[in-house]
Structure 1
């Protein structure tokens, strides 16, 4: 296996493949990991994936916990001594923080973490190199490749020496942001290439006298100059008031000279005397793109090579890591001979519709945020006279103006579709792929995607519930390890299904662990959450894939359970048999 690209997606894929026992080589053209923060929010599903692979500990240790980032704020400015400088316009709980925390805590064994890529990628690289020594090659670029039908050959150049090596692999994964692999395949990126131009400055400064702790992102709506709209994000390594590093996004500027950018930062923050060190400044374009295909022969695309979206909702890096997680167990099953090559077709069938929805949602959320501000008269595109009147009305202390503030708060609260999107993070489902549909309808999704409804319907994420066995507390997600195996979860009267799983495991040479949950079974349902969401009777069963998505279920006991389960597993592992009917006996 050859991975091209050593960013968050490629390094995650390396770690997951190593855990599945898949030999691979990773090449990355840069000499080191990211030198700018980039993405910084690891959502609950992504953190659960890292937890499954034993990677969550260092990320939680280095990252910001929810109390340090679980809010979104709109301010007039950070500092300044003018009448309306430094004023709070609105605050909204976000991404599992504040009033959302209990809901998120119930939904998974781990909570979201804020950890910028500049700190995430070194963790992923360190673990990747430990598991796959000598085969994580930074400073190496792939200069070309050929798909021969039964293998891929690629030319890899050491950028420090110029030496070129030919690499032969069964499959190639393009996780290079679309720079080489996707273009070489001729796979079109469909969508909008230029939604918005942005300038980003990465700098160090002491903002402790002015910073309000607990903010993921702060939008500045300047009361005096519409061109001074911007947003500020803390980037660690200390979190909270004494954070050292920051990223400021602001309207595009052709002048990236250090003196100009430093002056611009001071102006945008209304801190004319601020001492700061500028690390990096760049202009970039927000895109909304989806690859037409995720697989061409023996070449697969993931991460930014397959999809790019506005940073709103924080889905870009998370989607890429989830791509890698979806693909890793399938590659392991195919390369070990346990599954047909057609299983890899399910990668596109499953991930592309989810990522299409993510891209569309991110665009919608970004557009809504802008229209919402302009409609209120607070945004940079609102007429100047209206903006001036709105700011004056908003901060007028008279009782009559309280209604202005109340209405503004209600409108800004609709931004929860971007920062309360729990169902978008956890509730996505695969409707077609390596699964056996059972004919049931999915749970109704809340229009704002702010309510996650767990279910064991095939294609959905296995609901999290706390279990107990011999005094040990563990999540249902802990029953699925990092190997290529499946797990069958049965009710307390589901012994026949467990016996059937043992037969199917031997027949297909696929590890299938079993667990009966409920009263009198080996696993106790600690707080009744499993009973609430299991979707099966005491004699039913749920088959779960190595990526914690449900592959098949039977609500009740059935005749010939061994035959039924074997047929279901055959359909899951061989997409060429996906149209076959499951026998009833």
Structure 2
């Protein structure tokens, strides 16, 4: 007879042990906060949904002490692995390659540049190729060995009841026994078909794009040998007009993707995965290119989606969403998992502050506002990449078989065009320079300082409140100690000495005094004679930094502020920790509001032909093997 077991109260219950949920549990532990994680599956994924971890996400892993560990895992491409994207007409053609792009340098090459350019424009970590099944397995191992995480695998979420004091959640195990968890907060990291989201009544806005896709994940030693001896090492090989091939590990594991409206129209259950591989390798106008396939690992149809929740938190403020449960992003720009990785670190420190008693009730409102703004920006970027890619595909297919002729002028034009519009290209402004200047949990400059204009392709280093503080190597430890490494599990006050302002020394003492009275974990970092770092951090004596490396407040260059006043320091902490909200910012001409972004997102959806629905994801013909049933 099935029974119900009541578990001891847990401060934070995480539903979903995928990459975002696992990272959230590990991040909470980093902030000295215990949590409980429940995951329906007893095994990690077999699906290659993720192909790259961007530099900012690797920086998040660095903060958690996991970056170097991941890079040493078997199956993760090593430091000399290229990011080369080959553009081919088809592997059976006499001259298949018509363009190549390197959106990133190899890690080995990046580290050489780190030694030469310590100017704040680079990052402490760089992109890493890594397929999802390896990454998720790595994270699960870290979760299982972490003493601050109580994990239950094979435990499926059923429902929850929320009130002002917490959440009661019911789960069921593989034997059919129910389990009741009581928590201060419930976090839904349970993927695109999130039951937590649906049971909370939070609606999505957005919908699926008007094309389908089919992937086949497989192993082939023969293809690996062809890559090494004939085509040269690559990351992506695009056979335009039909799909692409991804080298996942440089050891013979590959994935092909077939894109197009035909996937929505055909009976995908009749697809032969081996024949589909041959088709993709042969190109849009060539014959199927046969190779020896050693093993088909998994295969499935899927449909890219663009969507974002109306709110990241419930009305009562006890249920929170992160990752795919809160937004659905297509593969264009690789912003799905990477967005989730960034937001979980933000959520982790805020939840820790709330549970540990030094954070205020407005912290989760700040999380919801900050993350939705960034997700909308990312979705707009992804829709633009999708439009560009679709337009290029149409031009390629319109050219017809003459594209196979190396001397053809249209082939040369398309080669030049694709070098500039590659969807795999770096977009440093998107990945490293997302700003929180609209947040109500930062203390804005009052001296008229203007942040650099945002650029999609360029990272603009700034210590302005709402910006990720710049990474530089300390002068005595180039390549070893980054300014990012100085950020503690609580708030960090970075002090540049000698001070320019006569009041800064006293202000530092007041910060420490007020933090001690309020039990705020505040770590003071003193940087002496670090003139390069100080200059890039825009010549401020004091910068207050939150645990995810975003600036909260900084002293002014010519200050009339009473920065030695305890009341003023109390005010800074009140805003930074969500005890009270900062005043709503005045509109800055170069910064859109959330409402502006929603309008632009809706327009972009129309351009790419995506369905725009509210509350659901429209009607779909199939459910991918790696996707939970859609609404």
TM range, smaller chain: 0.7 to 0.9
SS of the residue corresponding to residue 461 of structure 2 reads coil
The 5 A counterparts of 1:239-258 are 239=250, 243-251=251-259, 252=263, 254-256=267-269
Cα deviations by residue, 1:461-518 (Å, 9 ceiling, x for unpaired)? 010011156999511111113x233333334214334223212321321122222334
Matches within 5 A, 1:527-566: 528=532, 530-537=533-540, 540-556=541-557, 558-563=561-566, 564-566=568-570
Match of 2:580 among 561, 576, 582: 576
Please tell me the root mean square deviation across aligned C-alpha atoms, in Å: 2.6
Contact 1:47-1:113 at 8 Å conserved across structures:
yes
Distance between the aligned counterparts of 1:153 and 1:491, measured in 2? 50
1 CA distance for matches of 2:234 and 2:64? 29
Alpha-carbon distance in structure 2 between the residues aligned to 1:468 and 1:498:
24
Give the direction of change, closer, same or farther, for the CA distance of 1:404–1:100 in structure 2 (3 Å limit): farther
- Any conservation in 2 of the 1:2–1:171 contact (CA below 8 Å)? yes
Unpaired runs of at least 5, structure 1: none
Q: CA deviation at 1:406?
A: 5.2
What residue in structure 1 maps to residue 512 of structure 2? 502
Structure 1 segment 104-253 matched on structure 2, within 5 A: 107-132=122-147, 135-159=150-174, 161-177=175-191, 178-206=193-221, 207-211=223-227, 212-221=231-240, 229-236=242-249, 239=250, 243-251=251-259, 252=263
The 1-side partners of 2:538 and 2:422 are apart by 29
Provide the residue aligned with 1:407 in structure 2: 413
Indicate conservation of the 8 Å contact 1:69/1:213, yes or no: no
When structure 1 is superposed on structure 2, of 570-579 and 134-143 the one drifting more is 570-579
Q: Which of 279, 294, 300 matches 1:267?
A: 279
Write the distance in 2 (CA, Å) between the matches of 1:418 and 1:504.
47
* Secondary structure in structure 1 of the residue aligned to 2:225: coil
1:473–1:208 Cα change, 3 Å: closer
* Distance in 2 separating the partners of 1:577 and 1:134: 32
In the alignment, is the contact (CA less than 8 A) between 2:224 and 2:252 conserved in 1?
A: no
Name the CA distance, whole Å, in 2 between partners of 1:426 and 1:441: 19
2:56 corresponds to which residue? 45
1:285-304 correspondence to structure 2 within 5 Å: 285-296=303-314, 297=316, 298-304=318-324
Given the alignment, which residue of 45, 62, 69 partners 2:82? 69
Provide the residue aligned with 1:94 in structure 2. 103
Asked if 1 retains the 8 angstrom alpha-carbon contact of 2:235 and 2:248, the reply is no
Distance of 1:29 and 1:490 partners within structure 2: 49
Q: Kindly report which structure 2 residues correspond to 1:444-483, keeping only aligned pairs within 5 A, or say none.
A: 444-446=453-455, 449-468=456-475, 473-481=480-488, 483=489
Contact 1:68 1:213 in 2 (8 A): no
Pick from 2, 6, 29 the counterpart of residue 40 of structure 2: 29
**CA 416–245 in structure 1, closer or farther in 2 if over 3 Å, else same:** closer
In the TM superposition, residue 100 of structure 1 has moved relative to its aligned partner by 9.1
- Secondary structure at the aligned position of 1:2 is classed as strand
Q: Which has the higher contact order (CA 8 A, sep 6+)?
A: 2
Shift of 1:208: 2.4
Deviation per CA, 1:405-440, whole angstroms, max 9, x where unpaired? 653343213225751201110000112132112154
Find the aligned partners of 2:66 and 2:479 in 1 and give their Cα distance.
21
Q: Contact 2:98–2:412 (CA<8 Å) still a contact in 1?
A: no
Shift of 1:391: 3.7
Moved more, 208-217 or 327-336: 208-217
Aligned length in residues? 538
Where structure 2 has 5 or more consecutive residues not aligned to the other structure, the ranges are 1-11, 283-288, 586-631
Number of the residue aligned with 1:424: 430
After TM superposition, give the deviation of residue 138 of structure 1 in Å.
1.3
How far apart in 2 are the matches of 1:290 and 1:169?
A: 26
Displacement after TM superposition at 1:455 (Å): 0.5
- Cα distance change, pair 418–428 in 1 and its aligned pair in 2 (3 A): farther
Q: Deviation of residue 214 (structure 1)? A: 4.4
Distance 1:328 1:544, change over 3 A: same
Q: 2:294 maps to what in 1?
A: 276
SS in 1 for 2:45: coil
In structure 2, relative to structure 1, the CA distance for the partners of 1:257 and 1:66 (3 Å cut) is farther
Matches of 1:99 and 1:367, distance apart in 2: 33
